[in-house]
Structure 1
Amino acid sequence: MTKPILELNDIHTNVTTADGQSIEILKGLNLKINSGDFITVIGTNGAGKSTLFNTIAGTLKPNSGSISHLGNDITKLSEEKRSKFIARVFQDPKLGTAPRMTVVENMLLATKRGEHRFLIPRKLKQNLPYFEELAKSMNNGLENRLTTFVSNLSGGQRQALSFLMATLKRPDILLLDEHTAALDPHTSQNLLAATDERIQKDNLTALMITHHMEDALKYGNRLLVLKSGQVVADYKEEEKKKLHLEDLYNFFED
């Protein structure tokens, strides 16, 4: 039987509040993620969505439970070492890119994700056609701004660049942490379409947090509902196709 690409077993994760209190957010969470899954994740504020992503990425260590990657225990593995096979795009377009470097310089930097970096020739010219092709796939004019400093990009272009950088080395796990939430509706839908296209084309395994129920239904082959730190619903592809918005809204009622 094929091992899940990522498996979380009985995960309990606490977070420390601003006043120093320790609060349990994930409460015995179990989750198996298979290769090629594109999972949309929904839940109320405080349900544990971001804590789940932080636990997967290694930003937070679980208080108990285990995490395995392709059958290997990574529970105690550092965030830096997990970056070799886990990539993440955050909600804030300013995160994940170097503002004082150009678009192509950022993309070149992303080719070294998870590796030791040495002082070697940059090879920008050799990679330029490939980077231009990638930028065109975002359908927002990014290919015309390859030599522009990232700080001068629009929010949508900067977030598109963050997405390209996260997926350039085809990570085993891609975490999309409300990556379109800070964008206007048109730009958001454009990025979501480009996101879906790239995930399908490269057969990436991805989890995407969203507060938009329509997007949760439209994208992905699987839908998770988190509530009180646990997975309370896990809809596979055929089940998900039968869902309606009302079905999802019922989870948000007390």
Structure 2
Amino acid sequence: MTEPIFELNDIVVTVNHGTPEQINIMDHINLSIYPGDFITILGSNGAGKSTLFNVIGGNIPITTGQILLHGKDITNMSVERRTRFLSRVFQDPKMGTAPRMTVAENLLLSEKRGQYRGFGSRHLKAHMAKFKDITSVMNNGLEDRLNTATGKLSGGQRQALSFLMATIKRPEILLLDEHTAALDPQTSQELMQATNDQITRNHLTCLMITHHLDDALKYGNRLVVLDHGKITYDIAGDEKDNLTKEELLSFFNDLDD
């Protein structure tokens, strides 16, 4: 049986300790992530979606519980060390890229992620053919703008670059934090399709927060629904494939009852 890459075991995150406002924003979460999982995550505002990503990334310390990577306890591992196996793309296209650096310079920077970088020649020209190939898969003209400052790109191109930078070293876990939400509908769908193609082609393990029910149904092999810091549904395989939009909406209606 396949072993999980990453595990959250009975995770609790409590805020406002010792006050009348004390609350568990993560409430005994258990989640096992397996190689090749593409998990779409749904939940209303305040359900705990971003908190979940911040726990996985190490940005928020947990109150109780255990976090495992390949069975090894990494509960207290720093954010910086977790970047060796984890990448994240945020909702804002301006995050994750250096605006005054060119597309090629940003890609070179991300390729050196986690490595020692001393003073010396970047050998940028030697990478240009490879970067052209890498950017061409996004099907949005990014390959023709390798020498363009990132700050001058369209929102869709800049977010596509953020995605490529996050995946260029094929992280063990990729977190997509509503990465298409700030884009217009057509650009959002184009990036989502390119995202799915790359995840599938490169056999990446990914968790994606989305507010789009159609995307949650269309993409991925698992669907997780969060409510008040708890996982209320975790659906995979044929059950997910056969799930209808109406049934998915009923999950949220049940939560409101």
Stretches of 4+ aligned residues off by more than 6 angstroms: none
* Alignment partner, residue 174 of structure 2: 174
Amino acid at match of 1:132: K
Instruction: State the identity as a percent.
Output: 58
Any idea what the Cα deviations from partners look like across 1:39-82, whole Å, max 9, x if unmatched? 00001111110000000011111111011111111110000000
Alignment of 1:76-87 (within 5 A): 76-87=76-87
Rate the CA distance shift 1:15–1:138 in 2: closer, same or farther, 3 A: farther
* Alignment partner, residue 117 of structure 1: 117
Q: Find the residue that maps to 1:66 and give its secondary structure.
A: strand
**TM-score normalized by structure 2?**
0.95
Any idea what the Cα deviations from partners look like across 1:201-248, whole Å, max 9, x if unmatched? 110000000000000000001111111111111111211011001111
Structure 1 residues not aligned, in runs of 5+: none
Structure 2 residues not aligned, in runs of 5+: none
Alignment of 1:158-173 (within 5 A): 158-173=158-173
Distance 1:102 1:70 in 2: 36
* Alignment partner, residue 102 of structure 2: 102
* Alignment partner, residue 240 of structure 2: 240
Decide whether the 8 Å contact of 1:210 with 1:216 is kept in 2.
yes
* Alignment partner, residue 4 of structure 2: 4
Rate the CA distance shift 1:152–1:22 in 2: closer, same or farther, 3 A: farther
**TM-score normalized by structure 1?**
0.96
* Alignment partner, residue 44 of structure 1: 44
Q: Find the residue that maps to 2:215 and give its secondary structure.
A: helix
Any idea what the Cα deviations from partners look like across 1:104-150, whole Å, max 9, x if unmatched? 00000001122232223212111111111111101111011110001
Amino acid at match of 1:249: L
Shift of 1:251: 2.3
* Alignment partner, residue 188 of structure 1: 188
* Alignment partner, residue 202 of structure 2: 202
Any idea what the Cα deviations from partners look like across 1:164-209, whole Å, max 9, x if unmatched? 0000000000000000000000000000000000001110000000
Distance 1:123 1:60 in 2: 38
Distance 1:136 1:249 in 2: 37
Shift of 1:14: 3.2
* Alignment partner, residue 228 of structure 1: 228
